[in-house]
Amino acid sequence: MADVLLLNLTRFGDLLQSQALIHDLHDSGHRVGLVCLDNFSPAVPLLRHVDRAWPLPGGRVMALIEQDWRQAAAFMLNLAHSIRHEGSPTHIINLTATLPARLLGRLLAPTPDALMGFGLDAEGFGYNESVWLSFLSGAIRQRQSTPFNLVDMFRMAGSSLLASGVAARPGRNSLQQPHAAACARAQEILAAAMPDSGRPHGFVALQLGASEARRQWPVSSFAALGDTLYQAAGLCPVLLGTSSERALAEAYAAAAQGPFVNAVGSTDIPTLAALLTECRLLVTNDTGTMHLAAGLGVPCLAFFLATAQPWDTGPYLPGCCCLEPALSCHPCAYRRACTDDHVCLEYLTPGPVAELILGWLRSGHWEDGLNPELCTRARVWKTESDVRGFAAVRSLSGHDTEERTLWLAWQRFFWCRILDEMSGASPGSMQQNMPLPCPQSVRTQVVPVLYQTVRLLDLLTEQGRLLGKSAQAGQLFLRNCERVQDILGVCQPLASLGFFWRELRQERGGRMDELLQFTAQLSAHLRFWAAALEGDTKRAESELL
């Protein structure tokens, strides 16, 4: 039996990032069930407080669709009926935005109101029950507009079921330690590949691959780093990856001069977890392995290349280090070809990275391994927690006053306030200090657009009161709704706000009173934001009174 059923049909890393929400639900007295893809189900024993899990055989469903879609539909209906009968959930939290996941969530929900997160209405239109997920839907389209870690956005999707909101306590994303059999298998892998010189002083895990080649630090750089760490600190590299990444391990072997353990393609998920616990550190690209290590408490040094950035997908563990190339084009947009021949891949060289790690190994502080070359070529971030328990990153390389950093900090401050109020949560961000002054270039671009949007939102509030009294009022209302989105959409720093407005009005088009209430709230917060950006703190606070 599970009164809350969590639906997560995404990637391995995203599944692991559900742990904090599961932990919060458990602490609020809920019994939690989980529906996940069957190829990631071996990770379920690592998740704490999951009372029951139902693996979804995605491969079988796809095969049935190719044979006869009616067989696939019947299979899914039977599966949904079985889960509802065995779990008897009172609430469904769907964390997967795809249409099939929304449909499955609706099939599993005992009533339409019981479906939380990404939902599907009776007419087949998607909606987002949580304003935090409405924000997420828009923010992920803009790489400069994602100031929250995905784990925290998952947590907020289920915050209405928590006894006292999202708790500001550490360890929410802590996973179970791997079982004894997996640990024994990990020891066998390490012993069988032990270098001839004898047992090293320890191990360092290297995750060579990533979801895309353009997000992978070069294998030759990994090999040079592994050699240096073995020579200078006695740490033997342990290569990690799936069977599809064996070519990367072969390239590492061709480039490396020192010993290493090749575990690529030789581990299941429990054994991978066990190998990580044997290592002092994981050096990785932005991968599911990184999230697994963070959940196990294993420190990480992670590279964020191409579209990846640590603000939203960084390791959910304080004390990790994240490196981005200090290039104006980073992070690049999704679905856009690189025009600079992927210069970011070679921009972070292994020498300064090795010095950074060796400094951390000596003292436990990343700051002790910083050097001028690294701080010039890399944005160096340290992961930590803020006052409300959200994941945050802090610059170690002097990039805290960079335009992108300041704008992300302002967006984080603003969105905390408005999403707290719209979701009915306690305004935890109200106690936070305003960020450093925003650069003049951003203020000049953003503030006039905010005031223009405020005028339109106030007009919409007035026009909304006339709806139903004349056809012209309805036409004007719809036209101005489109104008709000158009105005925000052409201002790049506010594009995510435009997507958020679109989500709000589409989801609440049939609930005009609720839409008008949100319109008035949004107008007040935009006036606050504009005044705060201008430095008028007193007037900013008065806007929300």
Per-residue pLDDT of 423-460, as tens digits, reads 876 554 444 677 888 889 999 999 999 999 999 999 98
Burial 279-310 (b: 16+ CB within 10 A, else e): bbbbbbbbbbbbbbbbbbebbbbbbbbbbbbb
Q: Are residues 380 and 475 in the same domain?
A: no
Task: Give residue-wise pLDDT tens across range 323-339.
Answer: 999 998 888 877 777 77
One-letter amino acid identity for 265? G
How many domains are contained in the chain?
Answer: 3
Q: What pTM does this model have?
A: 0.93
pLDDT score for 66: 87
Q: Which helix (H) or strand (E) element contains residue 126?
A: strand 126-128
In a domain, 412, yes or no: no
Q: Angle at CA 340, nearest 5°, toward 334 and 341?
A: 95
**Tens digit of each residue's pLDDT (9 = 90 or more) over 158-202:** 888 887 666 556 667 899 999 999 999 999 999 887 656 567 889
Does the pLDDT at position 84 exceed 70?
Answer: yes
**Structural domain range at position 84:** 4-161
**518 touches 509 (CB < 8 A):** no
- What amino acid occupies position 462? E
Q: What is the pLDDT of residue 405?
A: 93
pLDDT tens, 92-108? 999 998 888 999 999 99
Q: Is residue 307 located within the same domain as residue 224?
A: yes
Which of 126-140, 153-167, 525-539 has the lowest average pLDDT? 153-167
pLDDT mean across residues, the chain: 89
Average pLDDT over residues 41-54: 96
Which H, E and C letters describe 14-28, residue by residue?
A: HHHCCHHHHHHHHHC
When pLDDT is cut at 50, 70 and 90, the band that residue 468 belongs to is low
Residue 467 pLDDT greater than 80, yes or no: no
Residues in Cβ contact with 415 at an 8 Å cutoff, skipping those fewer than 6 apart: 135, 147, 148
Is residue 236 within 8 A of residue 203, CB to CB? The reply is: yes
Angle in degrees, CA 294, 262, 363, rounded to 5: 45
Distances (CA, A) of 94 to 91, 157, 164, 396, 445: 10, 9, 21, 37, 37
Rounded CA separation 4/433 (Å): 36
368 and 483 in a common domain:
no
Overall average pLDDT of the 386-397 stretch: 92
- d(Cα 52, Cα 77) in Å, to the nearest integer? 20
113 and 189 in a single domain? The answer is: no
Helix, strand or coil, per DSSP, at residue 386: coil
Question: Is there a domain that residue 171 lies in?
Answer: no
173 lies in some domain: no
Tokens linked to 397 = 């390389």
Q: What is the pLDDT of residue 430?
A: 44
Mean of pLDDT values over 132-144 = 78
Radius of gyration of the chain (CA): 25
Q: Residue 385: what pLDDT? A: 92
Q: How far is CA 117 from the centre of its chain?
A: 15
Which are the contacts of 262, defined by CB distance < 8 A and separation ≥ 6? 193, 239, 249, 252, 253
Burial of 367 (0-12, 13-18, 19+ CB in 10 A): middle
Tokens of 33: 């069930």
Do residues 473 and 520 share a domain? yes
Q: Are residues 110 and 247 in the same domain?
A: no
Do 16 and 151 sit in the same domain of this protein?
yes
pLDDT tens-place string over residues 281-306? 999 999 999 999 999 999 999 999 99
Indicate which CATH number applies to the domain containing 141. 3.40.50.2000
CA distances from 356 to 215, 319, 350 (A): 21, 14, 10
Same domain, 219 and 349: yes
Alpha-carbon gap, residue 103 to 73, rounded angstroms = 11
- Is 55 contained in some domain? yes
**493-516 pLDDT, tens per residue?**
898 899 899 888 877 766 778 888
- Evaluate whether residue 392 is within a structural domain: yes
Q: Rounded CA gap, 24 and 6, in Å? A: 13
Mean pLDDT across the stretch 211-233? 95
Output the pLDDT for position 388: 82
Distance of alpha carbon 531 from alpha carbon 104, whole angstroms:
44
Average pLDDT for residues 524-533, to the nearest whole number? 91
pLDDT at 339: 73
Are 382 and 477 within one domain? Answer: no
Do 64 and 190 fall into the same domain? no
pLDDT at 544 over 60: no
> What letter would DSSP give residue 357?
H
Give yes or no: residues 268 and 360 share one domain: yes
**Greater model confidence, 160 or 364:** 364
- Which ranges in 315-439 belong to alpha helices (H)? 344-347, 350-363, 372-377, 403-423
Structural domain contains residue 44:
yes
- Judged by average pLDDT, the poorest of 17-26, 42-51, 531-540 is 531-540
Cis peptide before 259 (omega within 30 of 0): no
CA-angle at 313, arms to 59 and 215, nearest 5°: 75
Picking from 384, 387, 393, the residue whose alpha carbon sits closest to that of residue 309 is 393
Residue 269 lies in a domain: yes
Average pLDDT, integer, range 389-409: 93
Mean local confidence (pLDDT), 124-143: 81
Indicate if 460 and 533 belong to the same structural domain.
yes
pLDDT at 255 over 80: yes
505 lies in a domain? Answer: yes
**What torsion, rounded to 10 degrees, do the Cα atoms 12, 14, 19, 21 define?**
-160
